[in-house]
């Protein structure tokens, strides 16, 4: 560890996720340390991620000391580790893109945050798998302390993705229908709940499983109107299964392949399919007739890009979205997915659980 520290002092460079902060020379005594899950090359998480003691930069006028409380391990974090995500960190990198921390100290010029506040990073690449961080106050958004910790830790990605997709593509009115696959995913669960809060109906596609009715009931308790399996929809049209709802105007696809094609085929004329994930790792099937005779619009959504565009244009839009999602959490209309809480030092277990394609619960490092 001593060698690492002296190298950092020599280089006068300390790192925070993707960003590098240079600072004036410091002595060993002045250095603060945190523990972080660091990787220095892409590969399988088991081979690449190590827990390391990491020196933190001194607190600047505009910076904040953040004690991390909880951070999830998401599929995108694993893709980033493996080097298959569209944005990749500089090495050495700290894993984790979202999470919540408590502000413990602020620089003399910081007004937006105070000690005791909870805050989340607004952008990807923060490196949330760590015990503590020094960052610019502008890297963070404040979240209220009266929402559940697990909700705060997971607010930045999945609920915000669901919120944007339900607001930005179609002007949805109560009674309209949205159809989605991967309905039991974290994003899918948020879609169900946010749509229900808007009075929008949902048709939710899951994969068949032995305990299918248990899952179906859980999703219905969240507000799902219909839950059907990919297998049921295969070879049939949605009209054959559900007559009670208007045809979906919006389809949300996080699976791709044949499953994405089923969502697309279920849309009304002029409907929109938004693809935001590719869990099946198979090309989205788009029959020519869907484009020719139904004039379906195909769109994609990536929250990271949305946040970056909006942060540049007007950060208030970002804060407003997070506040709306927090309000839904406060009122109990939006609950975080079930999570397994794993102590930080048992990170191997957390990574392993997320890498498994059949994972049943979300994993949160505490
Ligand atoms: N574009 C964006 O801004 C954005 C933001 C957030 C998330 N995402 C993406 O959205 C997706 C879901 O993320 P999440 O965290 O919500 O995931 P999650 O909770 O881990 O859920 C994964 C979902 O994918 C399904 N699935 C996995 N492999 C499948 C396959 N081969 N065929 C059909 N379904 C399959 C799972 O169904 P089973 O239960 O049947 O396994 C489950 O419903 C990921 O691809 C993620 O990267 C994108």
User: Is 196 inside a domain boundary?
Assistant: yes
**Range 8-25 average pLDDT:** 44
pLDDT in tens, 130-146: 999 999 999 999 999 99
Q: What is the average pLDDT across 297-314?
A: 92
pLDDT at 10: 39
Q: What's the 134 CA to ligand 1 centre distance in angstroms?
A: 32
Domain region containing 20: 2-154+337-365
What pLDDT is attached to residue 9? 40
Whether residue 197 sits in one domain with residue 146: no
The CB of 75 under 6 Å from ligand 1? The reply is: yes
Res 361: pLDDT: 78
For residue 230, give the ligand 1 atom closest to its CA.
33
Q: What is the pLDDT of residue 236?
A: 87
Mean pLDDT value of segment 348-352:
92
327 located within any domain? no
Q: Is the peptide bond before 71 cis (omega within 30 degrees of 0)?
A: no
Q: Judge if 172 and 61 occupy the same domain.
A: no
Would you say how long the chain is, in residues?
366
pLDDT band at 253 (very low <50, low <70, confident <90, very high): very high
* pLDDT value for 14: 44
Atom 25 of ligand 1: nearest residue by CA position: 182
The reply to whether ligand 1 has any atom less than 6 angstroms from the CB of 330 is no
Instruction: Please tell me whether residues 138 and 175 are part of one structural domain.
Output: no
Domain end among 254, 283, 303: 303
- CATH code for the domain in which residue 110 is found: 3.90.180.10
Phi and psi torsions of 194, nearest 5°: -70, -40
> Which residue among 21, 39, 85, 347 is the active-site one?
85
Report the nearest atom of ligand 1 relative to the CA of 300: 1
Q: Are residues 16 and 98 in the same domain?
A: yes
CATH of the domain at 207: 3.40.50.720
For 287-294, the CB contacts below 8 A with 24+ separation are 287/261, 290/264, 290/265, 294/267, 294/268, 294/269, 294/270
Q: Say whether both 6 and 134 belong to one domain.
A: yes
What does the pLDDT average to over 9-13? 39
Same domain, 360 and 292: no
The answer to whether residues 173 and 122 belong to one domain is no
For ligand 1, say whether the CB of 219 is within 6 Å of any of its atoms.
no
pLDDT at 341: 95
Window from 200-204, 327-331, 338-342 with minimum mean pLDDT: 338-342
pTM over 0.85: yes
Percent of the chain with pLDDT over 90: 82
Q: Ligand 1 pocket test: which of 180, 254, 260 has the largest number of ligand atoms within 8 Å of its C-beta?
A: 254
**Residue located nearest, by CA, to atom 11 of ligand 1:** 277
Q: What is the pLDDT of residues 33-85, one digit of tens each?
A: 999 999 999 999 999 999 999 999 999 999 999 999 999 999 889 999 999 99
Strands of the 93-94 sheet, one edge to the other: 50-56, 32-39, 93-94
Nearest CA to ligand 1 atom 46: 277
Does the C-beta of 124 come closer than 6 Å to ligand 1?
A: no
Spacing, Cα 149 to ligand 1 middle (Å): 23
Pair (226, 146) in one structural domain: no
**CB-CB contact of 219 with 185 (8 Å):** no
Q: Is 63 among the domain residues? A: yes
Tell me the pLDDT of the chain averaged across its residues: 91
Query: Relative to the CA of 277, which ligand 1 atom is closest?
Result: 45
321: Cβ below 6 Å to ligand 1?
no
Q: What is the pLDDT of residues 260-288, one digit of tens each?
A: 999 999 999 999 999 999 999 999 999 89
Q: Can you give the pLDDT at residue 314?
A: 80
Any domain includes 14 = yes
Q: Is residue 61 part of a domain?
A: yes
Q: Is residue 35 part of a domain?
A: yes
Q: Which residues contact 54 (CB under 8 A, 6 or more apart)?
A: 14, 15, 33, 34, 35, 36, 38, 94, 130
The answer on pLDDT for 6 being more than 60 is no
85 catalytically annotated = yes
């Amino acid at each position: 560890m001593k060698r690492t520290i002296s190298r950092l002092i020599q280089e006068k460079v300390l790192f925070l996720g993707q960003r590098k902060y240079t600072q004036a020379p410091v002595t060993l005594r002045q250095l603060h340390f945190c523990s972080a899950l660091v990787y220095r090359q892409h590969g399988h998480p088991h081979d690449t991620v190590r827990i390391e003691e990491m020196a933190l930069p001194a607190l600047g006028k505009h910076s904040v000391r953040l004690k991390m409380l909880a951070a999830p391990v998401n599929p995108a974090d694993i893709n980033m580790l493996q080097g298959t995500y569209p944005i990749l960190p500089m090495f050495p990198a700290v894993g984790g893109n979202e999470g919540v921390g408590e502000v413990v100290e602020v620089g003399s010029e910081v007004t937006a945050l105070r000690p005791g506040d909870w805050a989340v990073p607004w952008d990807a690449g923060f490196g949330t798998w760590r015990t503590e961080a020094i960052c610019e106050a502008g890297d963070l958004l404040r979240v209220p302390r009266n929402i559940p910790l697990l909700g705060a830790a997971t607010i930045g990605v999945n609920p915000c993705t669901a919120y944007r997709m339900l607001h930005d593509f179609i002007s949805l009115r109560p009674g309209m229908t949205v159809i989605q696959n991967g309905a039991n995913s974290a994003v899918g669960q948020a879609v169900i709940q946010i749509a229900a809060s808007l009075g929008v109906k949902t048709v939710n596609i899951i994969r068949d499983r032995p305990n299918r009715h248990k899952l179906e009931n859980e999703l219905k308790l969240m507000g799902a109107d219909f839950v059907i399996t990919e297998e049921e929809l295969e070879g049939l049209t949605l009209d054959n299964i559900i007559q009670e709802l208007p045809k979906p105007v919006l389809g949300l696809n996080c699976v791709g392949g044949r499953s994405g094609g089923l969502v697309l085929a279920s849309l009304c004329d002029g409907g929109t399919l938004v693809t935001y994930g590719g869990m099946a790792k198979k090309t989205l099937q788009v029959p020519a007739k869907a484009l020719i005779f139904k004039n379906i619009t195909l769109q994609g959504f990536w929250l990271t890009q949305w946040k970056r565009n909006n942060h540049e244009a007007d950060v208030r839009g970002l804060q407003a979205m997070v506040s709306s999602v927090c309000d839904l959490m406060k009122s109990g209309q939006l609950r975080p997915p079930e999570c397994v809480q794993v102590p930080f030092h048992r990170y191997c277990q957390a990574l392993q659980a997320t890498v498994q394609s059949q994972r049943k619960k979300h994993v949160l490092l505490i």
